[in-house]
Structure 1
Amino acid sequence: MQNTFWTAFATSLAAALVTSLGIFVIRYFSRWGSRNTTYFMYFAAGVLISSSFLHIVPRALSMNAQAPAWLLAGFFGLHLSNRFLAVFNCDKEPGKKDYVFGLVPMLGIGLHSFIDGFIYSVTFSVSILTGYLASLGMVLHEFPEGMITYLLLLRAGFNERSSAVLAFLAAAATTPLGMLVSYPFISAIAPSSLGVVLALSAGALIYVGATHLLPRAEQEHRKYGLFALGGGVLVAAIIVASKA
């Protein structure tokens, strides 16, 4: 049991490290990243929507018959969070920084990364092999997740340092935190309960991709936007296939 804990914790730290590496790389190439943020928004929307529908939603449904209701709750829960945050920007003047644009995806990605930590606890508790197989697919999405979170915060008006710190806290640090919080209670977490949190996560990610990122990206009218969107769908399909 002790070895299982340290293996799960080390793997969650590795995932956080990969996410941090994505943040570091995109910060180092910040000019290139800023010029191509729209394409990253398309790509992120493709990844988030596709991975939710292809993997997270089916997994949640297999664990809990009430998953559709929790999926809806996750979607509208993040919408209400968006509206709440928008109150602070309701008097936004032309040229004022739109912090909400970066904070809403950060919340959705942070929730998803936190639940990733739960999944590390569950899979390594089943067996070491199961944990490693699940980790293979999960770690694949950590690198672009860090990049995307950082770029969206930067685009929203946060400075480079604040964007990097917030992206690290939301996309990287939440994974080992979720593992540490869930592991002591893992034997008491029923599959149906995990299905609830997975459905909430999927609803939040679908909201971020479909109603937050895609509409904003479409306003830019970039020539190769559909290719970036398709690339995100393809990456999500590869990640799902690697987990199968």
Structure 2
Amino acid sequence: MLAGVVSISAAAVLSFGLLGKMVDRMVSLSVGILLSTSLLHALPTAFEGHADPRALFATLLAGLLGFFLLEKMAVLRHSHHYEGDGHHHEHGHDAHEAGKSGWMILMGDGLHNFTDGILIAAAFLADPSLGIIAAVAIIAHEIPQEIGDFIVLLNAGFSRARAYVYNLLCSLMAVAGGLLGYFTLEQATDWIPYVLVFAASGFIYIAVSDLMPQMQRRATLRETIPQVLLIALGVAIVLFLTGGDHAHAH
């Protein structure tokens, strides 16, 4: 619930004047958090169990390909671009995009949030500190997405209150996913390593296929230095919250 409410509330209160800059900053921070959560915490925790490493790598491969196919079918995500984001869209771009897929945006977010809830539950069952990290990572990568959603809905004619309420309702799907994941995975703990690997594949896919290409479009040294520093800050946050030690996971 916190992951959904925080990301949606942050998107709702950000001013339009700072919107583009804030998205850029959140993208860089998200990359550091997502990659370090996946590669330094979630995957090591999954491989510390008794699951077959080949099966876990197969799950990682299936997850990456699955997220690619979902994105191709426009189920998982949609365009995060909007007027004023520096991409020189024509006037009326947002209304046009929202007119075609405004409700699909909400449906896609609901599905995405449901999956996030399951992943958070699996992470908490494996290790409470990993659960906290997973929730923080989800908040970090959801805020840029929710900003895009919020602006598109506003340009589609939604009032601020209506856009916020609909997004908030979608975020409650994470609670449903969390409850389902908790009560299902608790009875099937052998599946937790596989769900963790699947979660890691999602974080890696989002970072590498969506967020990092956005950062590559800003290639000057002046723009690159803050990106690198914010990525490092994201890694540092994960290391700090996990203690940089996996011994407790045994």
Q: Cα offset for 1:210?
A: 0.8
Deviates more, 1:68-77 or 1:16-25: 16-25
**8 Å contact 1:54–1:240 — kept in the other structure?**
no
Counterpart CA distance in 1 for 2:46 and 2:200 is 9
Quick one: structure 1 residues 205 and 136, their matched pair in 2 at CA, closer, same or farther if it must change by over 3 Å? closer
Per-residue displacement from partner, 1:172-227 (whole Å, max 9, x unpaired)? 43442233213443453032x11111111111110100111110122134622222
Report the residue type matching 2:59 in the other structure. Answer: W
State the number of aligned residues. Answer: 211
**8 Å contact 2:122–2:195 — kept in the other structure?**
no
Which of 100, 113, 117 in structure 1 is aligned with 2:121? 117
1:21 aligned residue: 6
1:30 aligns with 2:15: yes
Trace 1:1-244 onto structure 2 (pairs within 5 A): 16-17=1-2, 19-31=4-16, 32-63=18-49, 64-65=51-52, 66-85=55-74, 95=90, 96-97=93-94, 111-120=115-124, 122=125, 131=128, 137-138=133-134, 140-141=136-137, 143-154=139-150, 157-159=152-154, 164=164, 168=168, 172-191=171-190, 193-221=191-219, 223=223, 224-241=226-243
Counterpart CA distance in 1 for 2:237 and 2:166 is 25
Q: Cα offset for 1:139?
A: 5.1
Counterpart CA distance in 1 for 2:139 and 2:27 is 15
Q: Cα offset for 1:18?
A: 5.3
Alignment root-mean-square deviation, CA: 3.7
Q: Cα offset for 1:80?
A: 1.1
**8 Å contact 2:31–2:207 — kept in the other structure?**
yes
Counterpart CA distance in 2 for 1:109 and 1:18 is 9
SS class of match (1:60): helix
**8 Å contact 1:50–1:236 — kept in the other structure?**
yes
SS class of match (2:20): helix
Quick one: structure 1 residues 198 and 34, their matched pair in 2 at CA, closer, same or farther if it must change by over 3 Å? same
Per-residue displacement from partner, 1:25-80 (whole Å, max 9, x unpaired)? 34212322333211211111221111110111112222322211101111111111
Structure 1, unaligned stretches of length 5 or more? Answer: 1-15, 124-129
Determine what percentage of the aligned residue pairs are the same residue.
16
Quick one: structure 1 residues 84 and 26, their matched pair in 2 at CA, closer, same or farther if it must change by over 3 Å? closer
**8 Å contact 1:47–1:235 — kept in the other structure?**
yes
Counterpart CA distance in 2 for 1:152 and 1:216 is 14
Structure 2, unaligned stretches of length 5 or more? Answer: 80-88, 155-159
Deviates more, 1:34-43 or 1:220-229: 220-229
TM-score by length of 1: 0.68
SS class of match (1:210): helix
**8 Å contact 1:39–1:225 — kept in the other structure?**
yes
Quick one: structure 1 residues 185 and 78, their matched pair in 2 at CA, closer, same or farther if it must change by over 3 Å? closer
Counterpart CA distance in 1 for 2:241 and 2:4 is 16
**8 Å contact 1:134–1:243 — kept in the other structure?**
no
Report the residue type matching 1:34 in the other structure. Answer: G
SS class of match (1:85): coil
Report the residue type matching 1:62 in the other structure. Answer: E
Quick one: structure 1 residues 17 and 185, their matched pair in 2 at CA, closer, same or farther if it must change by over 3 Å? closer
Counterpart CA distance in 2 for 1:113 and 1:203 is 16
Quick one: structure 1 residues 144 and 232, their matched pair in 2 at CA, closer, same or farther if it must change by over 3 Å? same
Quick one: structure 1 residues 189 and 211, their matched pair in 2 at CA, closer, same or farther if it must change by over 3 Å? same
Quick one: structure 1 residues 242 and 199, their matched pair in 2 at CA, closer, same or farther if it must change by over 3 Å? same
**8 Å contact 2:33–2:234 — kept in the other structure?**
yes
